Structure 1
Amino acid sequence: MAQDGGDRAGYRARVRGCLLGGALGDALGAPVEFDTLGAIRAAHGPAGVRSHADPRALVTDDTQMTLWTVEGLLRARSRQAVRGGQLAPVPAVHDAYLRWYHTQHSGAPAGGYDGWLAGRDWLHARRAPGNTCLTALSEAARGHQARGEAAANASKGCGGVMRSAPFGLLPEHAATDEQVFTWAEQAAGLTHGHPTGRLASGATALLVRRLVAGDGLDAALDAALAALRTRPGHEETTKALLAARDAAADGEPGAEAVESLGAGWVAEEALAIAVYAALAHPAPDEFADALALAVTHSGDSDSTGAVCGNLLGARHGEAALPRTLADPVEGRDDLLALADDLVTAFTTEDPAAAPGWLDRYPQA
């Protein structure tokens, strides 16, 4: 499973870029999540949101749940390293989401958790978590939903899409494109039962996977669309992504084009807005322009910003993130430590043999 140093360095840069880019987009969009486009422009000017309203650059449940997705993947990898067999991430990710659910009710670490992530104070902050996620995980916590079982609701909210990027960070030797899509789809289905909520999440993960592998945005989008068309119920997500591509090819980028794609509260709209912004500003030195476009609208700005940041971070790597925006992001050091552990887990034969590894990431 080991990769050579050059491949590992490039992979690490993209993993770090994806996770930190998502947190940056989340923090940039969060303060304007419930503002109208007019109010955003009045406060930030016609160019939109280009700086943090709060110097602490606070993140939301979008980043929190994304990191718990990573933690679940790492525990699944620990199990595989110790016991052998195939990687089985979805039940482990479900357990991780339950750990996130408990942090949302504890206020601060109180002991009794295994692993290290639940001991981080900042991850216990309650930042307007989605009701669908809380309700579904409450059912699981009370034993009404089995480990790894799909939720019974019909929600297609964006709460699955905004946390799905980590599945795409699994390297090609660890999982196929088909597995990446399917696992992300299934993990979204733990809380969101509508086909669009699941399939848009699978498409998000596959986009990230192809970008990390070195594809350009258009090629990655082609791969996601091809995968979607093989799955029943894909039509809403496919239509939304094609509309995003058309909007990016038609005229100057702007908030009016963003709003023609929806508000981002539901899965396919959040993904479409993120893809549109990334296509409209695809170059490494346009990262801030893409994020400003992704969050400057009358909708779910933190989620659309987070997914856009995931995509461009995966495409360009950590070095493309504007330092003045990325450095203050809440939890940055923990986030990057988790990113580096993901790289270690999937570029070494037996990460569980490293001192302290199974204390940080017990077997799932």
Structure 2
Amino acid sequence: MATAANTVQLRLSKTLGALLGVHAGDSLGATLEFNSYREIKKNFPNGLRDIIGGGTFGWPPGHATDDTDLTRAVLLAYHDRANHNLLKIPGKDFDIARSVADWSLDWYEGDWPGRKKGQAPKDIGGATHVGLLNYSHLHDPRRCGAGDGKAGNGSLMRCIPTGLFTRGRDERIKESKEISAITHNDSRCTVSCAAYNEIVAALLDGKTPQTAVGIGLEVAREQDHIDVVDAIERGRTLSISKFANEGPGDELPDNTSGYVLQSLTVAIAALLDPRSLEDVLVDVTRIGGDTDTNGAISGGLLGARDGIEAIPERWLNTLQFRTEFEELAQDILDLASSPAEGLPSSYKKRHGLAG
């Protein structure tokens, strides 16, 4: 019988697995980004199994691309909210969408680790560029999205902290859609993020992958979005190992180029693949195309499924934000469960505070 301590530890493992699964999938796939299936098969016949950097943008090994950087922006916003909630300031509601937009704008304008002050990002998607440029002028996170017809995977890649740190289904769906809409307000993107995060929350609660996917489907149906429903249903029928061994073929006709529904489909297929996290992520990136983002989106679900212990230590040791992600996640969980009298002792110890 599981004890309360075991339940807390398992939830922490899955939370860290999800965040670092995004980071690991991103960093693994960064080497292969924009390569075709044929190119990858020629250079890495058995798939790329180590995080080595390089690629189109010359990444250092384990360095975050925009996928992990913008996940960090969302994570920092949830960390800010956890601290804000502890203070319990009357009449001061925390606007999570605005906080995410502010942190994302810092990234966009060059106030970010690993870059010189003011230096633009190496890699940024079109809708993300438009949304953050709009936000820099409007300062309204609810009026800056790139608009209908812009249905890339740039919000799905960063959305996982909502699934990890927001308790309550209605609030998760609302926040998932609002945070997506900062840059990607096409309903295919907003509903995909909502469905994905309900899958993540279900995995954290100990649901099986099959049950969790069913919960994501319920969300897509309730949101009356047949395209997202179809994308999830397709993911249930596809084989990642088949794509990795035979190529994407007609079932993934645009070679996983960055369309949000195709990335969602690949991630669902990855989650339902019973093999190890490592083997599945290696095969996701073997398919080609938008390898870093597909790796990130799939890695988040696999990490929530299997926990941090499933991520190879040789991968974890390379990741730029490993320590920061672990500390931020632990802080958020500690602050959410803190007693009414103030900061929990574990938080104080970690931050060198007296008492």
Query: Judging changes above 3 Å, is the alpha-carbon distance between structure 1 residues 184 and 352 closer, same or farther for their aligned structure 2 residues?
Result: farther
Q: Deviations over 1:75-125 (max 9, x none)?
A: 223332223689966x3343333333233333xx5xxxxxxxx5x446977
Q: Tell me the residue number matched to 2:57.
A: none
Aligned with 2:327 (options 315, 319, 337): 337
- Residue of structure 2 equivalent to 1:222: 214
Match of 2:47 in 1: 48
Of 249, 265, 271, the residue aligned with 1:272 is: 265
1:153 aligns to 2:147 (yes or no): yes
Within-5 A mapping of 1:314-353:
314-349=304-339, 353=343
* Residue 100, structure 1, aligned to residue 98, structure 2: no
Instruction: Find the counterpart in structure 2 of residue 81 from structure 1.
Output: 86
In 2, Cα distance between equivalents of 1:133 and 1:224: 25
Bigger CA drift: 287-296 or 252-261?
252-261
Shift of the alpha carbon at 1:344? 1.6
Provide, for residues 15-42 of structure 1, a one-character-per-residue CA deviation record: whole Å limited to 9, x for no partner: 1111111100000111211111100111
**Secondary structure of 1:200's partner?**
helix
> CA, structure 1 residues 226+151, in 2 after alignment: closer, same or farther (shift >3 Å)?
same
> Relative to 1, partners in 2 of residues 1:33 and 1:152: Cα closer, same or farther, differing over 3 Å?
closer
> What is the CA-CA distance between 1:300 and the residue it aligns to?
0.9
Post-superposition offset of 1:229: 0.2
Q: Pick closer, same or farther for the CA change 1:135–1:253 going to 2, 3 Å.
A: closer
Contact 1:21-1:326 within 8 A present in 2 as well: no
Q: Distance in 2 between matches of 1:189 and 1:38?
A: 35
Q: Which residue of 2 aligns with 1:112?
A: none
Q: So what's the TM-score if we normalise by structure 2? A: 0.85
1:244 matched to which residue of 2?
Answer: 235
1 CA distance for matches of 2:305 and 2:289? 25
Higher relative contact order (CA 8 A, sep 6+): 1
1:113-128 to 2 correspondences below 5 Å: 120-121=113-114, 126-128=121-123
Tell me the amino acid that sits aligned with residue 127 of structure 2: T
Aligned in 2, Cα 1:349/1:266: closer, same or farther, shift over 3 Å?
A: farther
Q: 1:190 aligns with which of 169, 175, 182?
A: 182
Amino acid at match of 2:213: L
- How far apart are residue 354 of structure 1 and its match? 6.4
* Aligned 8 A contact 1:78 1:352 in 2: no
The answer to which of 155-164 and 94-103 deviates more is 94-103
Contact 2:334-2:344 within 8 A present in 1 as well: no
> In 1, Cα distance between the equivalents of 2:341 and 2:26?
30
Q: Which residue of 1 aligns with 2:127?
A: 132
Distance 1:123 1:61 in 2: 16
* Matched position secondary structure for 1:208: helix
The 1:347–1:156 alpha-carbon spacing in structure 2 relative to 1, beyond 3 Å, is: same
1 CA distance for matches of 2:342 and 2:106? 26
Distance, in Å, in 2 between the alignment partners of 1:343 and 1:189 is 26
Alpha-carbon distance in structure 2 between the residues aligned to 1:239 and 1:182:
22
| Amino-acid identity (%) | 21
Distance change >3 Å, CA 265–CA 5, structure 1 → 2: same
Gaps of 5+ in 1: 110-117
1:8–1:347 CA contact under 8 A, matched in 2:
no
Identify the range of structure 1 (262-271 vs 56-65) with the bigger mean alpha-carbon deviation. 262-271
Distance 2:271 2:116 in 1: 28
The one-letter amino acid paired with 2:185 is G
Tell whether 2:50 aligns with 1:58: no
Q: Return the offset for 1:186.
A: 1.6
State the AA in 2 paired with 1:219. Answer: T
Q: CA deviation at 1:351?
A: 9.6
Indicate if the aligned counterparts of 2:199 and 2:216 stay in contact, CA closer than 8 A: yes
C-alpha distance 244-320 of structure 1, shift in aligned 2 (>3 A) = same
Q: Secondary structure at the match of 1:158?
A: coil
Distance 2:238 2:24 in 1: 24
Instruction: Give the 3 Å change call, closer, same or farther, for CA 133–6 of structure 1 in structure 2.
Output: same
Structure 2 counterpart of 1:43, which letter? Answer: N
- 1:175 corresponds in structure 2 to 167
Q: Mark the runs of 5 or more structure 2 residues left unpaired by the alignment.
A: 54-59
- TM-score, structure 1 length as denominator? 0.83
Q: CA RMSD in A?
A: 2.9
Shift of 1:205: 1.0
Contact 1:200 / 1:237 at 8 angstroms: preserved in 2? yes
Q: Report how many residues are paired.
A: 334
Give the C-alpha shift of residue 141 in structure 1. Answer: 1.3
Shift of residue 175, structure 1, vs aligned partner: 2.0
